[in-house]
Amino acid sequence: MSELSKRVITASILFAFVVGWMFYLPDSWFDRVAVLVGLMMTAELLVMVEVRKIVFYGITSAFSWAMLLILWVALPAGIGVLAAILFTMVIWTLIFFLNSDEHLLQSDFRSLVYAQWMMTLLLIFVWSVMVIHRQDGGVWFLAGAMAGVWSADIAAYFTGRAFGMNKLCPVVSPGKTREGLFGALLFGSLGASSVWVMMVDISIPVAVALSFLLVLISVGGDLAESALKRAVGVKDSGSILPGHGGILDRVDALLPSVPVVGLIWMALL
């Protein structure tokens, strides 16, 4: 099977999964699936950055995600994500101190910092998705955000191939160009704002402004994960998605953009 065929089949399955998850599951099951995906991404992250004592870090991560879900149900004011982040940081650091080796100190600490940084983003992302999903119009806001980010990704690829001449950030991602960024901003903003104007109670100027911010931040998220992969020397975050790499490779642009833009949207409600 060709690489293109794998990508198309995997993308079709992912699309069906996302639609079913966002539109057809009740809130309680939506939250559980979100936490499960977060746990899968954490496992992918721990393997990618090659942390030692991975079993102990994995158990701590599982407790963190369970804490997020339990406290989100009991205290949905944001305490859950804060507690989960603090718990993860404290316990991961404790594991590091108790198991550090003077000959591996530098590499172990680097892996710890990489993992904690991305784990914090993952917890905030999943929490914000659960919060937004429960708002009036929240499902369609998430759908618009995903449509915008993924449209931007596709537009950046084809615009860059057709017109790309000036590298955007060659040290981190040699394939990205400024022309691709322009295409991403144009088509990504159009994709997100179109959904929001039609399906969410939001004015055209606000939709355009938020969609532009969404795509701009999403590019930063994409570059951040590319930098992490380059730092640890891997091409993909994992191999669970044939033709696409890992789960983190598919959501890297969403990790910072959805929380920032989603919370701004809720503040404007």
What residue spans define the domains of the chain? 1-134, 137-269
Q: Which residue has better confidence, 235 or 131?
A: 131
Residue 5: the pLDDT is: 74
DSSP 245: B
**What is the C-alpha to C-alpha distance for residues 180 and 200, in angstroms, rounded to an integer?**
28
Confidence of residue 3 (pLDDT cuts 50, 70, 90): low
Q: Is the pLDDT of residue 240 over 90?
A: no
Confidence of residue 204 (pLDDT cuts 50, 70, 90): very high
Residue with tokens 């499960």: 36
**What is the C-alpha to C-alpha distance for residues 123 and 81, in angstroms, rounded to an integer?**
6
**What is the C-alpha to C-alpha distance for residues 187 and 189, in angstroms, rounded to an integer?**
5
Look at 20-29, 33-42, 71-80, 116-125 and tell me which has the smallest mean pLDDT. Answer: 71-80
Dihedral sign (CA 239, 115, 43, 14) = negative
Confidence of residue 241 (pLDDT cuts 50, 70, 90): confident
Confidence of residue 2 (pLDDT cuts 50, 70, 90): low
Per-residue pLDDT of 147-174, as tens digits, reads 999 999 989 988 988 888 889 888 888 8
- Please tell me the pTM assigned to this model: 0.93
Residues 6 or more apart in contact with residue 216 via CB below 8 angstroms: 185
Residue 6: the pLDDT is: 76
Torsion angle (degrees, nearest 10) of CA 190, 229, 264, 186: -20
Per-residue pLDDT of 37-78, as tens digits, reads 999 999 999 999 988 889 999 999 999 999 999 988 887 678
